[in-house]
Chains A and B, each alone.
Chain A
Amino acid sequence: MKSLDPRVRRLPPAVELNQTLPKSPLDQFVTFEVFVQPKDGKPFEHEGIVHAPNLEMAYVLAKEAFTRRFDCVSMYVVESGKVNVSPLTEGDTNAYDLIEDVPGQAGEKESYEIYHLAKRGKQHVHAGSVQACLPREAMTIAKQKWYPGKGVCNIWAIRTADIRFTSPEEKDLWLTLPDKKFRDAAEYKGGEKLKSFLEAKGQQNLNHH
């Protein structure tokens, strides 16, 4: 292609690539929810989503999409469809008041991660883990544990086994994150250069007069 952009000039012509493949029923990947722990001792927070073909790819793709700047010591992902969601409330209504209590179930318990949304417009924050057989049972146990506490307008319960966690040896993935100053506004202080430029300019104007 004729272009000012040398990268574009190197692109192969479109016609050769225009091989249409049969479209699968779903024409895009599913989405995965991404959770980030900013500092040791702080809770994980929901950050956003990635599109990915599977859990492992979601982890690999989420890492740079969501943790290439700011603070991060750990991250995990789970498929959007595997998050159990409570009703959403507003004002002073607590979401725990709207869920029907599920009595303790017999059988093998599994671990669930419970997330709370404190206020609309904010992010879901990790409240803790509970042991249960069913997601709704997990929410009921969470209610006994954390209610009445602060306002909660939405609850998520995620089966721990559905999560792709950061393994202990992968913790060094963020080792150089604090050194990536070139992505920070603070690295681009032009004040001194501007000041000396303006002084020189002022001097020049004086000389002209």
Chain B
Amino acid sequence: MYGGGNTFESVKTDSIAQEDPIQLGLFEARIERGEKIEPTDWMPQLYRKQLIRMIEQHAHSEIIGALPEGTWITRAPGFKRKMALMAKVQDEVGHAQLLYSAAETLGKPRQKMIEDLINGKSKYSNVFNYPTFTWADCCFISWLVDAGAIVNQLANAKGSYGPYCRALERICAEESFHLKYGHHCVIYLAAGSAKQRQMFQEAINRWWPPMMHFFGPSDKISTHTQVLMKWKVKMGTNDDMRNQFLDMYVPKIWELGFTIPDPNLIKNQETARWNYTEPDWEEFKRVINGDGPCNKERLEVRRIAEERGLWVREALKSPKAEYVLPLA
């Protein structure tokens, strides 16, 4: 689950000027033709750097994203939900595994990425810095946060880097289960008792602001990413993604008789764009920089998991082993 290009570094285009113009020309022509870039190809340093950054953030978002829902694995009501949630959270770990591998083909070892996560050097999706108070919060994530992630991932799957596209293809196939499962849970809450309905309404009220943040800052204030769009690293603007999500899911939420805590939320039929109250981007920045309700816990849990597993990994490491980059 991943919200999109919300933490790209500002792009210093002067680094491109230092690249070999002939190689750069071939590289850009290849992307222009719609051919994928594979790990052994020549690529500009900036392309490599930004891709590692993006795929790594995506991977971190999956492994951290396993925590807020993981909370409910031991409490899911009934066999059907229990098994589905176990499988769903497992998939998030699996997605992290696939994505770290894709990033690793670009030259950054997985262990280094995990260390950078724990040290707070690299980011993950902001949405997972919020707590899941009830089962309904967990259902909100399974349905709507995953829905948002799918919007983003389907776009990214059309990007230029082969290993990332392959990973995303597999991930998207698995996400369709998450989405259906999440919607199924919510339909049952909606059609259930007053208490069940209230649980989900409260979840929407809590999660709507982080959900709007999920796609990243408004295009009006976000970093200029034209060259990344040209290289098919970034595949859509934050506002486009947000609009696509609103278009697909707001009617489904309303259909179930729930309200969304934004009085200005309405579709402009002429422009086909949604109007909404501008999300609080100051809060977004605060949370991404570490000051959210759960940032500390998420990283702490990840760190404890790494430390508890250290003896297992250390025991089996072989000093003779010769590391090569994974192939694809």
Q: Which residues of A are at the interface with B, using a C-beta cutoff of 8 A?
A: 1, 3-8, 11-12, 14, 17-18, 21, 24-31, 33, 46, 48-51, 53-54, 57, 65, 68-70, 80-81, 83, 85, 88, 90-91, 120-124, 154, 156, 182-190, 193-194, 196-198, 201
Min Cβ gap B91→A in Å is: 8
Q: Decide yes or no whether B221 CB sits under 8 A from chain A.
A: no
- Can you report 20 A-B residue pairs in the complex whose CB atoms are below 8 A from each other? A1-B300, A4-B133, A5-B301, A7-B70, A7-B74, A18-B307, A26-B319, A28-B109, A30-B322, A48-B101, A49-B104, A53-B317, A54-B316, A80-B325, A81-B323, A85-B327, A121-B35, A183-B87, A186-B180, A197-B190
**Residues of B contacting A1 in the complex (Cβ-Cβ under 8 angstroms):** 297, 300-301
Alpha-carbon separation in the docked complex, A48 to B35 (Å): 20
In the complex, the number of residue pairs spanning A and B with C-beta atoms less than 8 Å apart equals: 174
**Residues of B contacting A154 in the complex (Cβ-Cβ under 8 angstroms):** 38
Q: Are A17 and B304 in contact (CB under 8 A)?
A: yes
Chain B interface residue number, banded: 35 or more
Q: Are A49 and B321 in contact (CB under 8 A)?
A: no
Known: A90-B35, A184-B177. A21 touches B310 (CB 8 A): yes
**Residues of A contacting B109 in the complex (Cβ-Cβ under 8 angstroms):** 27-28
5 pairs of A and B residues whose beta carbons are closest in the complex: A121-B36, A53-B316, A28-B111, A197-B191, A188-B184
Output the nearest chain A residue to B109 by Cβ-Cβ distance: A28
**Residues of B contacting A54 in the complex (Cβ-Cβ under 8 angstroms):** 316, 318
Alpha-carbon separation in the docked complex, A185 to B176 (Å): 6
Q: Decide yes or no whether B290 CB sits under 8 A from chain A.
A: no
Q: Are A190 and B187 in contact (CB under 8 A)?
A: yes
Q: Are A26 and B307 in contact (CB under 8 A)?
A: no
Q: Decide yes or no whether B84 CB sits under 8 A from chain A.
A: yes
Known: A183-B87, A197-B187. A188 touches B181 (CB 8 A): yes
Q: Which of A57, A80, A120, A154 has the most CB of B within 10 A?
A: A120
Q: Decide yes or no whether B212 CB sits under 8 A from chain A.
A: no
Output the nearest chain A residue to B114 by Cβ-Cβ distance: A28
**Residues of A contacting B83 in the complex (Cβ-Cβ under 8 angstroms):** 182
Q: Are B167 and A48 in contact (CB under 8 A)?
A: yes
Alpha-carbon separation in the docked complex, A69 to B174 (Å): 9
